Structure 1
């Protein structure tokens, strides 16, 4: 899971990035990421803690989520080289759009909705360039006697119609998620969470005349959260109580990121390792097996499945089995959040 952080200059992107990375004490560039603009963050999960207590493994592995802070986003009117900066976020699974909702250094009041629309329009224009170029190529191929195959042209024309109206492609979820369009990495088709970067005392969402379609909003007090992220645990607790912060910005953003990308987690357990595996909701068992290793997918026989809630209630695997809560599922079984799975395979 990789999410790109975008927004206008002075929106507080770097502040929000620092608040997210500092909350776990995980500085950018850790966990194998050599680029200081990339942070790979641990997704804490009490279920993993419980499973580790039960199985006492040699290793415990939490899910991870990656956040990317790109260089400043260019205008669609910028040069080709400058527009290439968009490529930094094209391969992200979703976008976190940080919007300034505090007075600027020179005293300008926030215009959060206008700022949001400005970046949104840049993405729409960039997508329109990509779509029109591909349609021109398809038309050229048609004239040469090579008609388009599948639904690509039809879907691209539908994209153009939406973009020409000034709307983001995510406003049509079915089209935005069409498999034929994934290779184009269209920016406005990506799931988006809008982060309103508020002042320390401000917890309210600003009123917008036209709420965005297909994008949720949340408030983060970026500067305050960044300060807290670099405090000792005792100091941080005092500040959270003083400012009525029940949950860190990181944990809230992670939870919303999972919801945004429709991700769930299943678990594998044993004496060697207890591990969380984040996958798209609705993933069949065969594909979940492939998330672990291609050989397990290739030699898939059955999935032995029981649920975390049942283990927590019964206490042990054997008690779950005695109660008939452990079952064998085939390759088409849709994995559920909290499933504990052992894959039987032969290669």
Structure 2
């Protein structure tokens, strides 16, 4: 999972990136792209690892990407290119004053970026529609599915309606190659002052929103475990920014985790909610999907209740499922296959 961090200049994007990844910069190369890969905290992986004592324990991972430059598509169409391959966007919105900044205007700042995305996608669509019209005049065959979808996208954008608000269009396979920026799922982070942990008035927002005290959280990731404990208590922080944002990102993208366990490896795998067993198998290896026979499934909760895999089997909690079984969050799966 790759999440791109965006926002207007001065919103605190670098501070948020450092709070989420722990990668602290000296400020010398703020114009360069920055990437931080962290493991997804999951107590279930810890417990399974203690149970199986594997040679390797592998957590799911999330990648945060902070481009050196984005925005102002009206001047340069290529400035959104760095985040087009991201799965979702984290939009950092300034909700603090001081430091030379005027009174924050969260909704206006949000709208400025939103409009920029809409303009960017409109430019792409209009160019493509012109090309399709030219192909029709030359007698070339035009994709009958692509054309009406693009026209619908254009209509939505002209009404200042970002494509992420229409999931059916945003996820259309025929449009995937365009990587429309306004179609990407978005998590809005209000970057608050140190002494303010409240949500601003969000009646005008129709996005997934969360508050973060960026400067505090940036300081937190640089502390020892003992210092961090006192810090969390003093500022009434019940969960770190990293934990909260990862959880919010999973919910935003509709992601769940399943596990594979054994003496060699305990591992968490990330998939979309609603994924069938045969497609979950492909996440591990394409050969497993190709030779799929059955999925041996045990829920994490049933394993915890039974204490051991063998005891869970005796209780009848270990099931054999076919290709179309919908994998559930926390499933422990052993894929049977033959290639």
Where on the TM-score scale, by shorter chain, does this alignment land: which range? over 0.9
The answer on whether the counterparts of 2:73 and 2:79 sit within 8 Å (CA) in structure 1 is no
Task: Please report how far the alpha carbon of residue 142 of structure 1 lies from its aligned counterpart in structure 2 after TM superposition.
Answer: 1.1
Q: 1:316 aligns with which of 296, 308, 332?
A: 308
Aligned equivalents of 2:218, 2:194: Cα separation in 1? 11
Q: 2:214 aligns with which of 207, 222, 231?
A: 222
Aligned equivalents of 1:202, 1:281: Cα separation in 2? 35
The answer on whether the counterparts of 1:9 and 1:72 sit within 8 Å (CA) in structure 2 is no
Relative to structure 1, the CA distance from residue 322 to residue 333 in structure 2 (aligned partners, 3 Å threshold; closer, same or farther) is same
| 1:1-347 matched pairs, under 5 angstroms | 1-22=1-22, 37-79=34-76, 83-208=77-202, 210-212=204-206, 215-347=207-339
Relative to structure 1, the CA distance from residue 187 to residue 36 in structure 2 (aligned partners, 3 Å threshold; closer, same or farther) is closer
Aligned equivalents of 2:132, 2:328: Cα separation in 1? 41
Task: Please report how far the alpha carbon of residue 177 of structure 1 lies from its aligned counterpart in structure 2 after TM superposition.
Answer: 1.4
Task: Please report how far the alpha carbon of residue 118 of structure 1 lies from its aligned counterpart in structure 2 after TM superposition.
Answer: 0.2
Choose 243-252 or 233-242, whichever is displaced more: 233-242
Q: Hey, what does 1:32 align to over in structure 2?
A: none
- After superposition, the C-alpha distances for 1:44-72 in whole angstroms (9 at most, x for unaligned) are 11111111111111110010000000022
The answer on whether the counterparts of 1:61 and 1:274 sit within 8 Å (CA) in structure 2 is yes
The answer on whether the counterparts of 1:10 and 1:104 sit within 8 Å (CA) in structure 2 is no
Task: Please report how far the alpha carbon of residue 235 of structure 1 lies from its aligned counterpart in structure 2 after TM superposition.
Answer: 1.0
The answer on whether the counterparts of 1:305 and 1:341 sit within 8 Å (CA) in structure 2 is yes
Task: Please report how far the alpha carbon of residue 107 of structure 1 lies from its aligned counterpart in structure 2 after TM superposition.
Answer: 4.1
TM-score calculated relative to the size of structure 2: 0.95
Aligned equivalents of 1:104, 1:332: Cα separation in 2? 56
- After superposition, the C-alpha distances for 1:84-116 in whole angstroms (9 at most, x for unaligned) are 231110000000000100014224110111000
Aligned equivalents of 1:287, 1:85: Cα separation in 2? 35
Aligned equivalents of 1:10, 1:291: Cα separation in 2? 39
Aligned equivalents of 1:150, 1:323: Cα separation in 2? 54
Aligned equivalents of 2:56, 2:82: Cα separation in 1? 33
- After superposition, the C-alpha distances for 1:216-267 in whole angstroms (9 at most, x for unaligned) are 1100000010011101111111111011000000000000010111110000
Task: Please report how far the alpha carbon of residue 74 of structure 1 lies from its aligned counterpart in structure 2 after TM superposition.
Answer: 2.9
The answer on whether the counterparts of 2:72 and 2:79 sit within 8 Å (CA) in structure 1 is no
- Runs of 4+ in structure 1 deviating by more than 6 angstroms, as ranges, are none
Secondary structure at the aligned position of 2:208 is classed as: strand
Task: Please report how far the alpha carbon of residue 204 of structure 1 lies from its aligned counterpart in structure 2 after TM superposition.
Answer: 1.2
Choose 172-181 or 225-234, whichever is displaced more: 172-181
Equivalent residues, number: 333
Aligned equivalents of 2:54, 2:24: Cα separation in 1? 27
RMSD between aligned residues: 1.4
Choose 247-256 or 315-324, whichever is displaced more: 315-324
Aligned equivalents of 2:61, 2:155: Cα separation in 1? 37
Task: Please report how far the alpha carbon of residue 27 of structure 1 lies from its aligned counterpart in structure 2 after TM superposition.
Answer: 6.7
TM-score calculated relative to the size of structure 1: 0.93
Choose 138-147 or 246-255, whichever is displaced more: 138-147
